[in-house]
Structure 1
Amino acid sequence: MKLSVTRRDFLAMSSKGVGAVVVSCGLMGCVFDDDDEKSVNADFLHGVASGDPTHDAIILWTRATPENSQDNEVKVSWEVATDENFDSVVTDGQMVATVDQDFIVKVDAVGLEAGTIYYYRFKTANKVSVVGQGRTLPEGAVSAAKFAVMSCANYPAGYFNVYELAAQQDDLDAVIHLGDYIYEYARGEYASEKAVEYDRQVLPEGELFTLADYRTRYGQYRTDTSLQKLHSAVAFITVWDDHEVANDTWRDGAENHNDDEGDFDTRKQAALQAYFEWLPIRPWTEGNHEEIYRSFAFGDLVDLHMLDTRVLARDKQLEYATYTDPATGAFDSQQFMADVTNTERTMLGQEQLLWLQSSLLQSTAKWQVLGQQVLMGSMLLPAAIATLQMSIPEFARLGGLAQLAARAQAGDPSLTAEELAYLQQNQAELTDEVLALLQLPAIPYNLDAWDGYAYEREVIFASAKSMGHNLVVIAGDTHNAWASDLTDAAGDTVGVEFATSSVTSPGLEYYLGLPDEQIPATEAALVDLVTNLKYTNINDRGLLLLTFTQDEVKSEWMYVDTIASKTFTENSSRSHSVTSAAGNPAIN
């Protein structure tokens, strides 16, 4: 069982002066060997990045693109300093970036001080990169920590203004990216209607299957100036979701993969290798591109546990069609409940679940935060809505009409003349079929989320509950913002969940085809319909700011007014914030 993210027994070591640096040939490249033939001209077209900070180390990243496409190796040097002018260099080194590793340079810079901002840069024979900065994790007593949480950036859907907005925040300890950093689709597919207008058609043109395909797509994303700016400004802590491989990925397949497209595992391994190449992330062991779960300790304040709910061990998603008789439409609810609560059904897998339980049981930090992809809170919607037989506004209107009819039938004297007139005008809509739909029970609207893996969710809740932890779950994936109380099967509140909107990927307003004027009423109806749901935004693209103190966690959603133009403003009229106090596992 993995015990610490600082385990680095796989690294090759080198040191220079007082400041020791650990460089992994397994991360990227190899140690510089004074061969002048490798001193070729190369540029840093994809910017710089830092990530996976520990108390004494941080991963540094760049890509050195040779000016001559025939060059196969590039000398790259790097420096880390405590000041932007690099007057106080604390560690430096040299490496060779090779064509086999896509000219990626990743350095594990160690021997650093806790809770300190460091500046870094890279050099080739003729170029110096922009200066990046990143902060190591603090130790001991910590009064506050602030994070930007984001996910779901589909390049052709619009401009990355949400990354630009995040880069404007100057007090972040880290960016937590919860996946869908890239999308695998071909040109003209998902959310690409205006890609030509935006000059954001994807590369390569086709769907991603090979290592070269995934590398090319990452390379295109990383030319985006807003994403480059954010990467250079703050360290990232990341985890993948499904689109880094293919839509609705599970352990042995994906919705967006069929047998005609080749072996799924080969595709998955290529995708995960490219992810580890292009993201500033530290592998557990050399060449291990599958295990991504790990923890980050922000002193005595926050323990952040990043989970893989997608690729490593997830069982295939359940589908309502499996339990519906095609001839009669009858739904086998007994078999469905047996399957969804099956104790053998897994999202995390046994090893990862045991690691998480152990981490929760041993931790003494004020806040336990689970950074993961999909909604953990129960999102039960009336079956008529979940099965798309009624829209949310339609269900709310007809449900209200049915309530008026029931009150009238009972002889309710409080009915107003206006209500009676409305009922008389519209009662014909309450057909037997409509009334039957209104009476159907609430069911999970998304079986790809934790609602489709109920047993394992209860195990996590029980672990947090047994220790009296202040549990905070953060999620992405849905492209919408959510805030919910988390309750276990006994009805006890065990924590809170905050979900971020997307960078560009469209949300429920896209799928439901809702006009702008129906958005507020639909959001209000959702909060009313879904037990424990406290807030939602189903229309705007944005990010989530989380600020932890010893007393409370504050969740603030920030949105941009457009992704259709690089010129944007913050849509402050749609911003929202909620808090949860330490010792009180509910949203205030």
Structure 2
Amino acid sequence: MSGGISRRDALVGGVAALGLLAAGCGRTKKTALAEPFTLGVASGEPTSDGVVLWTRLAPQPLAEDGLGGMPGRVVAVEWELAEDEQFRKVLRRGSVDAAAESAHSVHVEVEGLSSGAEYFYRFRAEGQVSPAGRTRTAPARGTGLPDNGSGTGGEMTMCFVSCSQYEHGYFTAYRRLAEEHPDLVLHLGDYIYEYQAGVYTLPEGNPRGHAGPETETLANYRQRHAQYKTDADLQAAHAIAPWAVVWDDHEVDNNWANLVYEKPEIPQPEFARRRAAAFQAYYENMPLRKSSMPNDGALQLYRRLHWGDLATFHMLDTRQYRDDQACGDGLKSCPARTDGARSITGAEQERWLLDGFRESRARWDVLGQQVFFAQLDLDPGAGEKNNLDAWDGYAANRDRVVQGWVDAKVRNPVVLTGDVHAAWAADIKQRWDDPGSATLGTELVATSITSGGDGTESRPDVEAVLPGNPHIRFFNNRRGYVRTRISPREVRADFRAVPYVSREGAPVETRASFVIEDGRPGLNPV
């Protein structure tokens, strides 16, 4: 690269787009807006010939009305996509209107691109230019599986994350993830947290605070998303690769289930309005396609992404359609959790998932979803205690999913999970009460980015229950993410962790690595 500026300097380091003196992209014009790109840029939803490009204009991102200091008028936003990071070979450019009704967010669906290719993009609004982002398209399906490590069908690097509570620490793990230069990032929920400042507090105190009250209105949710998006480490992670996102509970409210609020004393119609506001703000602030635009208080979030013949990512929504948690929710023994009528996916999404298993020709079928999938008995004694907010509270639905991939002869099922603020790895067993029964799949659980604070080297409460759960192969209580390298031969999972989040600049290290071999479900330590 010319000028001695590396890709990491330009993208991870947050330097604005290179080549800004190219035609039409100067900063010399006096502008009508202050710096509008305070929330950075993002891309997502890669296909073999396209991708979504995202930004949102917000010169005053923490404005209480949620509109980011933008005027009520429509603002034209120009975009361009190039082969190179200097933008000397611009392939596509266009203009899209950003309106107050969508919080001046834009979602550009670019099509007709080459498959398995790297691109760079940026935006311009009223004379000002955004930082540049790096994105890529997926390999085309039917192109074979050359195991050449090229990233064009033979191998990919995918990182997945969850649970970034702004108050609980600094988003250094996002920065370290960006330095991995992944091909794809999956965010599995709790991208924001809804609490008013100081409500969800660490014992040692929170290192930084939320702006605004608990999120209940559209203005509240827009402001909260904007506060998170101002974080430079999060912006770096968005700018380095396309994302595929699903929500969990805190994007709306803690432990919500369908139209059931955490607090049963709140009338349901009031929660329906709050949920609709959260859905609207979520769409506005994520690089999602128009097919996910909210409609009549609902948002279509479950969908599939295909990475050539290598992997199919089945992205699930385990919140919007679930039955209310059994037995009043919580960690307890509850016979109702095995009720065959209870569902965490809803009947329609379950049919969609099982149909996808039958139709899949991918080497790896990956479920990107929110809550703990494997059974986990949290009673260290002879009794039983389960997390009723997770798949354990919907055990029959889980059994049907597992049987679905057995019936469809899914070659390599892998479940990815967030939510629990710690890293776990588990074998998925045919019978949970029989450690010698067949291993049918694998679960990898990402710890949080910050939620829970620095974490600890040991958790006696967890260590006490591990002997009673022999299918659990790994646990770690630090913050970070999971880096996977997916090839036709294997999935390698590296559990990456930072030693602290209470201050900035932490290094990252690998706390454990496992390999899942093609055609041989189960975890093999490296």
Tell me, yes or no, whether TM beats 0.5. Answer: yes
Any residues of structure 2 matched to 1:43-82 within 5 Å, and which? Answer: 43-65=36-58, 69-70=70-71, 72-82=73-83
Any residues of structure 2 matched to 1:186-205 within 5 Å, and which? Answer: 186-191=196-201, 198=207, 200-204=208-212
Residue number among 121, 134, 155 corresponding to 1:144 in the alignment:
155
Q: Any idea what the Cα deviations from partners look like across 1:282-330, whole Å, max 9, x if unmatched?
A: 142654352100011111111110000112x100111378999xxxxxx
Query: Counterparts of 2:124 and 2:240 in 1: how far apart (Å)?
Result: 19
Q: 1:283 to 1:374 in 2, by over 3 A?
A: farther
Q: Does 2:338 align with 1:341?
A: yes
SS in 1 for 2:326: coil
User: Would the aligned equivalents of 1:158 and 1:195 in 2 still touch at CA under 8 Å?
Assistant: no
Code of the aligned partner of 1:373: Q
Q: 1:195 to 1:182 in 2, by over 3 A?
A: farther
Any residues of structure 2 matched to 1:100-179 within 5 Å, and which? Answer: 100-139=101-140, 140-141=143-144, 142-170=153-181, 172-179=182-189
Code of the aligned partner of 1:459: R
SS in 2 for 1:309: coil
Q: 1:55 to 1:107 in 2, by over 3 A?
A: same
User: Would the aligned equivalents of 1:161 and 1:563 in 2 still touch at CA under 8 Å?
Assistant: yes
Q: 1:188 to 1:323 in 2, by over 3 A?
A: closer
Residue number among 466, 469, 472 corresponding to 2:407 in the alignment:
466
Code of the aligned partner of 1:291: Q
Any residues of structure 2 matched to 1:17-416 within 5 Å, and which? Answer: 40-42=32-34, 43-65=36-58, 69-70=70-71, 72-139=73-140, 140-141=143-144, 142-170=153-181, 172-191=182-201, 198=207, 200-204=208-212, 206-255=213-262, 258-259=265-266, 263-284=270-291, 286-288=293-295, 289-311=298-320, 313-319=321-327, 336-337=334-335, 339-382=336-379, 385=380
Code of the aligned partner of 1:534: R
Residue number among 532, 535, 543 corresponding to 2:471 in the alignment:
532
User: Would the aligned equivalents of 2:482 and 2:494 in 1 still touch at CA under 8 Å?
Assistant: yes
Code of the aligned partner of 1:499: V
User: Would the aligned equivalents of 1:120 and 1:133 in 2 still touch at CA under 8 Å?
Assistant: yes
Query: Counterparts of 2:338 and 2:461 in 1: how far apart (Å)?
Result: 30
Any residues of structure 2 matched to 1:501-512 within 5 Å, and which? Answer: 501-506=447-452
Query: Counterparts of 1:557 and 1:210 in 2: how far apart (Å)?
Result: 37
Give the aligned partner of residue 26 of structure 2: none
SS in 2 for 1:190: coil
SS in 2 for 1:61: strand
Return 5+ residue gaps in structure 1 as ranges. 1-38, 325-332, 386-437, 511-515
Query: Counterparts of 2:485 and 2:329 in 1: how far apart (Å)?
Result: 42
Query: Counterparts of 2:278 and 2:201 in 1: how far apart (Å)?
Result: 21
Code of the aligned partner of 2:474: Y
Query: Counterparts of 1:77 and 1:195 in 2: how far apart (Å)?
Result: 43
Code of the aligned partner of 1:453: Y
Q: 1:241 to 1:69 in 2, by over 3 A?
A: closer
SS in 2 for 1:319: helix
Please report how far the alpha carbon of residue 357 of structure 1 lies from its aligned counterpart in structure 2 after TM superposition: 0.5
Q: 1:523 to 1:554 in 2, by over 3 A?
A: farther
Structure label with greater radius of gyration = 1
Q: Any idea what the Cα deviations from partners look like across 1:26-71, whole Å, max 9, x if unmatched?
A: xxxxxxxxxxxxx843521111000111111111111123687545
User: Would the aligned equivalents of 1:283 and 1:292 in 2 still touch at CA under 8 Å?
Assistant: no
Query: Counterparts of 1:54 and 1:87 in 2: how far apart (Å)?
Result: 24
SS in 2 for 1:361: helix
Pairs aligned (count): 468
SS in 2 for 1:284: helix
Residue number among 501, 522, 526 corresponding to 1:586 in the alignment:
522
User: Would the aligned equivalents of 1:294 and 1:307 in 2 still touch at CA under 8 Å?
Assistant: yes
Query: Counterparts of 1:159 and 1:193 in 2: how far apart (Å)?
Result: 17
Query: Counterparts of 1:315 and 1:275 in 2: how far apart (Å)?
Result: 22
Please report how far the alpha carbon of residue 445 of structure 1 lies from its aligned counterpart in structure 2 after TM superposition: 2.6
Q: Does 2:495 align with 1:553?
A: no
Query: Counterparts of 1:458 and 1:46 in 2: how far apart (Å)?
Result: 42
SS in 1 for 2:277: helix
The CA RMSD measured in Å over matched residues stands at 2.4
Q: Does 2:445 align with 1:499?
A: yes
User: Would the aligned equivalents of 1:64 and 1:74 in 2 still touch at CA under 8 Å?
Assistant: no
SS in 2 for 1:212: helix
Please report how far the alpha carbon of residue 341 of structure 1 lies from its aligned counterpart in structure 2 after TM superposition: 2.0
Code of the aligned partner of 1:468: K
Code of the aligned partner of 1:364: R
Query: Counterparts of 1:447 and 1:257 in 2: how far apart (Å)?
Result: 17
Q: Any idea what the Cα deviations from partners look like across 1:193-237, whole Å, max 9, x if unmatched?
A: 6677x3x32121x11101110000001000000001111111111
Higher percent of residues as helix: 1
Give the aligned partner of residue 483 of structure 1: 425
Q: 1:245 to 1:257 in 2, by over 3 A?
A: farther
User: Would the aligned equivalents of 2:330 and 2:388 in 1 still touch at CA under 8 Å?
Assistant: no
Give the aligned partner of residue 35 of structure 1: none
User: Would the aligned equivalents of 1:551 and 1:581 in 2 still touch at CA under 8 Å?
Assistant: yes
Q: 1:278 to 1:323 in 2, by over 3 A?
A: closer
SS in 1 for 2:174: helix
- Percent identity of equivalent pairs: 36
Judge which range, 187-196 or 91-100, deviates more.
187-196
Please report how far the alpha carbon of residue 561 of structure 1 lies from its aligned counterpart in structure 2 after TM superposition: 1.4
Please report how far the alpha carbon of residue 504 of structure 1 lies from its aligned counterpart in structure 2 after TM superposition: 0.5
Q: 1:525 to 1:84 in 2, by over 3 A?
A: same
Give the aligned partner of residue 421 of structure 1: none
